[in-house]
Structure 1
Amino acid sequence: MTLTTEPRTTLLDPAFMARLDQLDVMSRKLLAGKLKGERRSKRRGQSVEFADYRNYVIGDDLRFIDWNIYARLDKLFLKLFLEEEDLSLYVLLDVSKSCDYGEPHKSFYIKRVAAALGYIGLVNYNRVTLCAFNNGIASDTGAMRGRRRVAQMLDFVQKLQPSGPSHLAESCRRFALAHRQKGICVILSDFFDKGGYENGLRYVAGGKYDLFAVQTLCPQEIEPDLQGDLKLRDMEDDDMAEVSITQPLVKQYKANLNAYCLGLKDYITRRGGTYLFTSTAVPFDTLVLNYLRERGLLG
């Protein structure tokens, strides 16, 4: 197997799906659905049952600011309430050519996470939509609901193949235009885009979506084992570069990568979203069962 070969194995085995049956997707923001779901989700302003507080984010409804806390702490907090509510879950997974790399393979890892989230959403009878993107929305499932749609969802994810360049701005713009229902928006991507991430994420951060970004890189990108005079080719647009790779250059690369990831995290969290960095070296079940729960996406 090469670094650009996706393993031919099952996305989710029955034993792991049984463990996923114990989980549900969670949201910290206002999510007003049109249909009733099977469980309680956080929604502000309609129920009298107080649930929690969170920091105010620009664009939130000022009616739900707790002015008593503001008077004491000089900080803005919003009150959250519980109500029986339907939940829309959107999972955007990167299928651009840059994901066709790594050991463990980056695209396969992203597809497994997407499949797990889709499964959890469906078995809890939430409204689930999976969207594959590269330089736009390559394909999507449409809205699905219920356990009987699991096989269809898994077949959709299994057939996805990395191709084409990444254009996050165009992908997020098209997604936001096509999906106006409020909900949780999970983006699974390496977020490598020559156009940057800001123009794309502004369509899904700090507004009607509860954004959860999982930046996924492989070990070879985090700790590159390269040296000497090499000719490198961009996987997405075939640009070539001749470089002499030295230890100082590798050190600078790591510093630049770290700064890029920290900038992405800061951009997302400042707009009320949640950011999680992972390597494909992290066991898939650990990411889903531990890290996604710790960050509040699953409960």
Structure 2
Amino acid sequence: MLDPSFLRKLDRLSLITRRAMRGELQGERRSPRRGASVEFADFRPYASGDDIRQIDWNLYARAERFYLKLFVAEEELNLHLLIDTSASMDWGEPNKLRYAQQLAAALGYIALSNLDRVSVHAIGTGSAQSLSGVRGKRGAIPLFNFMQNLQAGGTTQLAQRCRQYVMNVRNPGPLLLCSDLLDPNWREALTALTTRPFEVTVMHILAPQELNPELEGEFKLNDAEGGPSIEVSADSSLLERYRANLAAWQREVESYCNGRNMTYVAIDTALPVEELVISQLRSRRVVR
């Protein structure tokens, strides 16, 4: 899935979260709970039954009241990777689904390297494809195997699949959606992700042939997901209108995400995955 030299670079990265989130096991992330670590969090008054070893005697000498020291608990993060596997993703050069697989594998590996937990769910119309709760670097092999075996097919049901996923998740956390968003209900899909306390990053993946098509003459365009065919006469005027409409749509999606505290990343599959992760996702504060 990923070049060994790229993996070594990923070992030095971590995912950025805007707020502390609860996990299940000890890890390397801030938790909203208080626990035992080296990082001080706050004081609270002593109550009967508290551990007297946590009393701050220096503060007692000044205030003549007992206070406990509270420290930041460190817990694992739960990363959720949603990958659109509808038929429209199996298109373009470089292929959009292949790109999404490598991108999700890279981000999942970063989480595993930091002792976080990773779950992957394929959003398609076929039977549910999920990988739940792998943790640690030993989880990289099942993660990569799962990614490599994903196949595209069927029509997009983005909103329905997103609603189903968020309803069944036990531990929300950072969520990365990899999709071309070629679904008329993309707004409903993104809104569904906001019904739980996820930190959502939308990876809007499009191929160069979609961003800047080079067509001239008469064509019949077939819908990869079974919709009606369209006959077009491609000339410079038509292509100019197409690019303007596409740019307007991308701005609309970005504005929709910004209004709901989501991170939006427009992606051209012509950009190598390594460059996207190491450079652009760093600048967008997705990884550091």
Match of 2:285 in 1: 296
Match of 1:107 in 2: 97
Which of 61, 80, 86 is equivalent to 2:76?
Answer: 86
TM-fit CA distance, 1:44: 5.4
Match of 2:231 in 1: 242
Within 5 Å, give how 1:48-197 maps onto structure 2: 49=41, 83-135=73-125, 138-193=128-183, 195-197=184-186
What is the aligned-residue RMSD (CA, Å)? 2.0
Q: Where has structure 1 moved over 4 Å in runs of 4 or more?
A: 43-50
Instruction: For structure 1, list consecutive stretches of 5 or more residues without a partner in the other structure.
Output: 1-10, 51-80
Aligned-partner Cα distance in 2 for 1:20–1:279? 21
TM-fit CA distance, 1:32: 1.7
1:270 matches 2:255: no
1:29 matches 2:19: yes
- Contact kept in structure 2, 1:40 and 1:82, CA below 8 Å: no
Aligned-partner Cα distance in 1 for 2:215–2:208? 13
Match of 1:280 in 2: 269
Instruction: For structure 2, list consecutive stretches of 5 or more residues without a partner in the other structure.
Output: 43-70
Aligned-partner Cα distance in 1 for 2:159–2:8? 37
How many residue pairs get matched?
Answer: 256
SS at match of 2:93: coil
Q: CA 1:26/1:286 → structure 2, altered by over 3 Å: closer, same or farther?
A: same
Match of 1:205 in 2: 194
1:253 matches 2:254: no
Q: Which amino acid aligns with 2:120?
A: L
- Contact kept in structure 2, 1:135 and 1:168, CA below 8 Å: no
SS at match of 2:2: coil
Aligned-partner Cα distance in 1 for 2:33–2:127? 34
Greater strand proportion:
2
Within 5 Å, give how 1:222-241 maps onto structure 2: 222-241=211-230
TM-fit CA distance, 1:115: 0.7
TM-fit CA distance, 1:29: 2.9
Percent identity over paired residues: 36
TM-fit CA distance, 1:155: 0.5
Please report the TM-score for the alignment, with normalisation by the length of structure 1.
Answer: 0.80
Which of 189, 197, 205 is equivalent to 1:216?
Answer: 205
TM-fit CA distance, 1:45: 7.9
SS at match of 2:18: coil
SS at match of 1:181: coil
